A and B are shown apart, each in its own frame.
Chain A
Amino acid sequence: MLIGISLISFFIMHLAPGDITSSEAAFNPKASEESRQKLRELYNLDKPVITQYGLWLKRMVELDFGNSFASHQRPVLWETKDSKGNVIKGLIQESLPITLLINLIGIFLIFSVSIVLGTISAVKQNSIVDKSITFFIFVAFAIPGFWLALLLMYWTGVVNQWLPISGLHSLDYKSFSEIGQFFDLLKHLILPVSISMLSGLAGISLYVRNGMLDVLHQDFITTARSKGLNEKNVIFTHALKNAILPLITIVGLSIPGLIGGSVIAESIFAIPGMGKLFYDSVLMRDFPVIMGILTIGSVLTLIGTLIADIGYAWADPRIRKGLVK
């Protein structure tokens, strides 16, 4: 599986006509072609493709993605220490937690809101409420994210100075207490998280709604109802539990979409996450970083799927018993 991913990433890499030496210094008359050839040799870009792939695959197994071409040899994945004990942080090391934080909050909110909306929709199937919810989640999905983001930035940041416009921290956040810093971060995350959340609402809400509808028509619900349990009890204890269960697997599958979608949100809100890093690397033809991110992104998805499977097994008593046996 990983080999497949690595092959695809490597193949894409070599669609590219450019290399790092073509971006920044390319149009500076003071940079000569020999100097650039020299750079190319230093980076092994002059070796045959197969050799480059071999070198790279070998390093990938050791989780060593090498150093970035573009940002002065910064390590792609993890920090390294130089002889004087200065720690140089890895590019992914610095950007991944930010993207993960935003996405985890995002996923959490998407699921909470979706479960509520989906349940209401299902319970009130075909009513005005159901229709309005469906309409609302589709509108949320259909708005071009960056447009809405700018409108909200203007409304909440310029017209009314309620929220910060961009960035992750206030300039003087270091002078705050720890709790202060936490609130400061939260304030900066409100807009980006809301924007990245909106597009995910539709799919999950509909999933919950349809799941609920299925469950509500099943025998055991009818049984529960006929036993005289009140409707709330039926919905929340019996139906919801069964309808939500399959959602766990969807968590794993939604990770790549969220990571990928972060490119635009991160650019517009000036958040130094993985999406922004990936976009910059693509424009700079910074191959080690592109490969590193594609691989790490895929590994994350695999881990997500795995956790989801385990979670599903743990939550579903039938499978759990099966495991014990």
Chain B
Amino acid sequence: MKQIFLLILPLIFLISCSKNNSEVIDYNDNNFSSGGVLINAMSAEPSNLISMIAGDSASSAIASKIFNSLIRYDENLNFTSDIAESWKISKDQKTITFKIKKGLEWSDGIPLTSADVYFTWKLITNPNTRTPYGSDYTLVSQARTPDEHTFIVTYDDNYAPALDTWASLEILPKHILENEDINSTYFSRKPTGSNYYKLGDWVSGQQVNLIKSENGVLGKPYINKLTSRIIPDTSSQFLELSAGNIDLMNINPIQFKRVFPAKPKLKNRTALYKEMGNGYTYLGFNLKRKPFNDKRVRQAINYAINKEEVIKGVLLGLGEPISSPYKPGTRWNNPSLKPYAYSPKKALNLLKEAGYKMSADNFLVKDGKALEFEIITNQNKQREMTAVLIQRRLQEIGIKVSIRVIEWASFVNRFIKPGDFDVVVLGWSLSLDPDQFNIWHSSQQGPGQFNFVGYDNKKVDQLLEKGRRELDLDKREKIYHEFSQQLLDDSPIVYLYAGYGLTAVNKRIKGIKSPAPPAGIYHNSQDWYIPKSLRRNELTN
């Protein structure tokens, strides 16, 4: 019997391998049905499925499919219900009352109540919990649960980003974690959640399988199983996508604009999506160093950089110039602000005002010293290319620039923390809450804090403090529009671009919204489906 197996199995493999080639698939089949498997690729393995402890993006991507928060962002980035059906802010703006939906269950059937929410808050504010995110929640002076469906938090001082913090805190089950050490619990590898999916199995270093939960608090998704394969090398990922072995991956502009159009066969079975990305890239000055303490020098460099060219060269046009640290199209973005238009002339005039003269060999010199500096950046292809383009434009007007690319951990510890740099090319995220206190307030300049460029402006400090306390959206909007304007004028950083998020998805996956809503294509992933005829035969279970 065994011998027969030995003979047959290789044959089966050969057959199943060659079949993929000859099969003609009709991607126009749109017949809705629930079921199927979606396979995607991630570059790194999640470290831990409790996101308050993990902190890496692979972990939070998986955890967000398993856990819910009190509230969440809808497709237009407004708050909407999640575990809480409604929430109310008191008149004095210091207390928020969340009403939790009735009849909710964890995936193991135990009821989900306000006790779980309270437990989670206790956990993240416990000093023994090894989380970097605790500080936002320690601002809550009092949390109460008058009944199973009510959770009330009170702040000593108005705290405007509060709702955002409750949208990002994933609620954990009290009945499982009550007597566990959160820092080392096995729960982090075998979690019980409440969202659309639950953990099926996790093969270390290879794949994580999520399966449909029958009692998710937001309902049931259409796709039965999500498999995330861990493939560290992006070239290998792309080969897998080309071979049709994975359904979805993030791609880069060159793949989007050049590779897909050149490969008709691949293009026929892949849909490409672009959406506003979640971050922006900037050139930041060390304001504590000469000559960057001079606003005119900073503005001059801003004028001398051709942002359109950077977007065209680095992103092949797949990005937008920005002029405030907020997502274009959202209310926090001040539409009246325009980026510094490329103008070497204005740049030179400003530099002359600042006392620079053109030397005989065409370099800008002041007090016998040439205007020269080093741009450092981490190992990120796009940032590297950006730095190279900037270097050329600055050299054209007589500024000597050198570039250094540094591996991330050393970059942070050797250069950013001690403030030992001239100019950096880096990125910040375009956060959904407009609070930028940590990045721009003058009190946040200590080693390891985020105002490492050393920005210090009394007016901005006041605006940031005011903005944190204002819960009225319209008033808040005004504050942050003013803040953005001041920031743009001072030019402590040069906004370079906000790139689009680019995703390639196999056409067998249906129901993806296009064009993508502000929240991105993943927003309605529970409504995606795979028509029966397009499923992989071998994975129907």
> Is A–B contact present in the complex under a CB 8 A cutoff?
yes
Q: Roughly how many angstroms separate A223 CA and B136 CA in the complex, as a whole number? A: 88
Q: Decide: A272 near B230, CB < 8 A? Known: A158-B239, A169-B206.
A: yes
B9 touching A179, Cβ below 8 Å? yes
Q: Roughly how many angstroms separate A22 CA and B431 CA in the complex, as a whole number? A: 21
B55 touching A165, Cβ below 8 Å? no
Q: Check: A86 CB closer than 8 A to any chain B CB.
A: yes
Mark out the residues of chain B between 123 and 145 whose CB falls within 8 Å of any chain A CB in the assembled complex: 127, 130-136
Q: Check: A31 CB closer than 8 A to any chain B CB.
A: yes
Residue-by-residue, is A14-33 near B (CB-CB < 8 Å gives 1, otherwise 0)?
00111100111111111111
B409 touching A18, Cβ below 8 Å? yes
Q: Which of B146-154, B181-189, B327-335, B383-391 contacts A (4 or more CB under 8 A)?
A: B181-189
Q: Check: B541 CB closer than 8 A to any chain A CB.
A: yes
Q: Roughly how many angstroms separate A301 CA and B449 CA in the complex, as a whole number? A: 44
B184 touching A72, Cβ below 8 Å? yes
Interface centre among B44, B205, B242, B412, by most chain A C-beta atoms within 10 angstroms, is B205
Residue-by-residue, is B19-60 near A (CB-CB < 8 Å gives 1, otherwise 0)?
011000000000000000101000011011000011110000
Q: Decide: A150 near B134, CB < 8 A? Known: A17-B414, A171-B39, A177-B5.
A: no
Residue-by-residue, is B200-238 near A (CB-CB < 8 Å gives 1, otherwise 0)?
000111110000000000000000000101111101100
Q: Check: B362 CB closer than 8 A to any chain A CB.
A: no
A30 touching B133, Cβ below 8 Å? yes
Q: Which of B10-18, B338-346, B392-400 contacts A (4 or more CB under 8 A)?
A: B10-18
Q: Which residues of B contact A70 (CB under 8 A)?
A: 47
Q: Check: A12 CB closer than 8 A to any chain B CB.
A: no
Q: Check: B111 CB closer than 8 A to any chain A CB.
A: no
Q: Check: A88 CB closer than 8 A to any chain B CB.
A: yes
Q: Which residues of B contact A148 (CB under 8 A)?
A: none
B446 touching A33, Cβ below 8 Å? yes
> B413 to nearest A CB, angstroms?
4
A270 touching B229, Cβ below 8 Å? yes
| In the complex, residue of chain B having the shortest beta-carbon distance to the beta carbon of A84 | B186
Q: Which residues of A contact B242 (CB under 8 A)?
A: 158
Q: Which residues of A contact B45 (CB under 8 A)?
A: 71, 272
B130 touching A25, Cβ below 8 Å? no
> A44 to nearest B CB, angstroms?
13
Q: Check: B245 CB closer than 8 A to any chain A CB.
A: yes
A270 touching B233, Cβ below 8 Å? yes
Q: Check: B360 CB closer than 8 A to any chain A CB.
A: no
Q: Check: A197 CB closer than 8 A to any chain B CB.
A: no
| In the complex, residue of chain B having the shortest beta-carbon distance to the beta carbon of A272 | B205
A22 touching B127, Cβ below 8 Å? no
Q: Decide: A28 near B132, CB < 8 A? Known: A161-B20, A179-B5, A183-B9.
A: yes
Q: Check: A62 CB closer than 8 A to any chain B CB.
A: no
> A186 to nearest B CB, angstroms?
10
Q: Which residues of B contact A167 (CB under 8 A)?
A: 206-207, 229, 231
> A12 to nearest B CB, angstroms?
14
Q: Check: B288 CB closer than 8 A to any chain A CB.
A: no
A166 touching B236, Cβ below 8 Å? yes
Q: Which residues of B contact A285 (CB under 8 A)?
A: 409
Q: Roughly how many angstroms separate A276 CA and B44 CA in the complex, as a whole number? A: 11
Q: Roughly how many angstroms separate A166 CA and B236 CA in the complex, as a whole number? A: 7
A180 touching B132, Cβ below 8 Å? no
Q: Roughly how many angstroms separate A241 CA and B97 CA in the complex, as a whole number? A: 84
A86 touching B17, Cβ below 8 Å? no
Residue-by-residue, is B517-541 near A (CB-CB < 8 Å gives 1, otherwise 0)?
0000000000000000000001101
**Which residue of B186, B240, B245 is within 8 Å of A82 (Cβ)?**
B186
| In the complex, residue of chain A having the shortest beta-carbon distance to the beta carbon of B209 | A171
A150 touching B183, Cβ below 8 Å? no
Q: Which residues of B contact A36 (CB under 8 A)?
A: 132, 448
Q: Roughly how many angstroms separate A164 CA and B132 CA in the complex, as a whole number? A: 40
Q: Decide: A175 near B541, CB < 8 A? Known: A33-B448, A35-B132, A285-B409.
A: yes
Q: Check: A157 CB closer than 8 A to any chain B CB.
A: yes
Q: Roughly how many angstroms separate A17 CA and B17 CA in the complex, as a whole number? A: 49
| In the complex, residue of chain A having the shortest beta-carbon distance to the beta carbon of B189 | A88
Q: Check: A283 CB closer than 8 A to any chain B CB.
A: yes
> A112 to nearest B CB, angstroms?
22
| In the complex, residue of chain A having the shortest beta-carbon distance to the beta carbon of B168 | A30
Q: Which residues of B contact A89 (CB under 8 A)?
A: 204
**Which residue of A33, A161, A284 is within 8 Å of B447 (Cβ)?**
A33
Mark out the residues of chain A between 126 and 184 whose CB falls within 8 Å of any chain B CB in the assembled complex: 150, 153-154, 157-158, 160-162, 164-172, 175, 177, 179-180, 183-184
B6 touching A283, Cβ below 8 Å? no
A88 touching B186, Cβ below 8 Å? yes
Q: Decide: A161 near B243, CB < 8 A? Known: A29-B438, A167-B206.
A: yes
Q: Which residues of A contact B410 (CB under 8 A)?
A: 17-18
Q: Which residues of B contact A17 (CB under 8 A)?
A: 409-410, 413-414
Q: Check: A39 CB closer than 8 A to any chain B CB.
A: yes
Q: Decide: A272 near B206, CB < 8 A? Known: A18-B410, A22-B413, A72-B53.
A: yes
Q: Check: A315 CB closer than 8 A to any chain B CB.
A: no
Q: Roughly how many angstroms separate A89 CA and B205 CA in the complex, as a whole number? A: 12
Q: Which residues of B contact A172 (CB under 8 A)?
A: 538-539, 541
Q: Check: B408 CB closer than 8 A to any chain A CB.
A: yes
B135 touching A34, Cβ below 8 Å? yes
Mark out the residues of chain A between 76 and 116 whose CB falls within 8 Å of any chain B CB in the assembled complex: 82, 84, 86, 88-89, 94-95
Q: Which residues of A contact B227 (CB under 8 A)?
A: 171
Q: Check: A238 CB closer than 8 A to any chain B CB.
A: no
Q: Decide: A86 near B186, CB < 8 A? Known: A33-B446, A162-B17.
A: yes
Q: Roughly how many angstroms separate A180 CA and B11 CA in the complex, as a whole number? A: 11
Q: Check: B466 CB closer than 8 A to any chain A CB.
A: no
B409 touching A31, Cβ below 8 Å? no
**Which residue of B2, B127, B184, B448 is within 8 Å of A38 (Cβ)?**
B127
B233 touching A268, Cβ below 8 Å? yes
B205 touching A94, Cβ below 8 Å? yes
Q: Which residues of B contact A22 (CB under 8 A)?
A: 409, 412-413, 417
**Which residue of B243, B414, B417, B539 is within 8 Å of A171 (Cβ)?**
B539
Q: Check: B174 CB closer than 8 A to any chain A CB.
A: no
Q: Check: B367 CB closer than 8 A to any chain A CB.
A: no
Q: Roughly how many angstroms separate A268 CA and B133 CA in the complex, as a whole number? A: 34
16 further interface pairs, Cβ-Cβ under 8 Å (given A31-B133, A32-B132):
A17-B413, A18-B412, A30-B136, A33-B447, A35-B135, A72-B53, A82-B184, A160-B21, A165-B239, A167-B206, A171-B229, A172-B541, A187-B13, A270-B233, A283-B408, A283-B409
- 26 inter-chain pairs at a CB distance below 8 angstroms, sorted by A residue, are A17-B413, A18-B412, A23-B409, A26-B448, A27-B412, A29-B450, A36-B448, A38-B127, A39-B130, A72-B53, A72-B184, A73-B183, A84-B186, A86-B186, A86-B190, A157-B240, A158-B243, A165-B243, A165-B245, A167-B229, A171-B207, A171-B227, A179-B9, A267-B233, A284-B409, A285-B409
- List A residues at the B interface (Cβ < 8 Å): 16-19, 22-36, 38-39, 42, 67, 70-73, 82, 84, 86, 88-89, 94-95, 150, 153-154, 157-158, 160-162, 164-172, 175, 177, 179-180, 183-184, 187, 267-272, 276, 280, 283-285
- List B residues at the A interface (Cβ < 8 Å): 2, 5-6, 9-10, 13, 17-18, 20-21, 37, 39, 44-45, 47-48, 53-56, 127, 130-136, 183-186, 188-190, 203-207, 227, 229-233, 235-236, 239-240, 242-243, 245, 407-410, 412-414, 417, 431, 438-439, 446-450, 538-539, 541
8 closest Cβ pairs, A-B complex: A272-B205, A31-B132, A72-B48, A18-B409, A86-B186, A29-B438, A25-B132, A18-B413
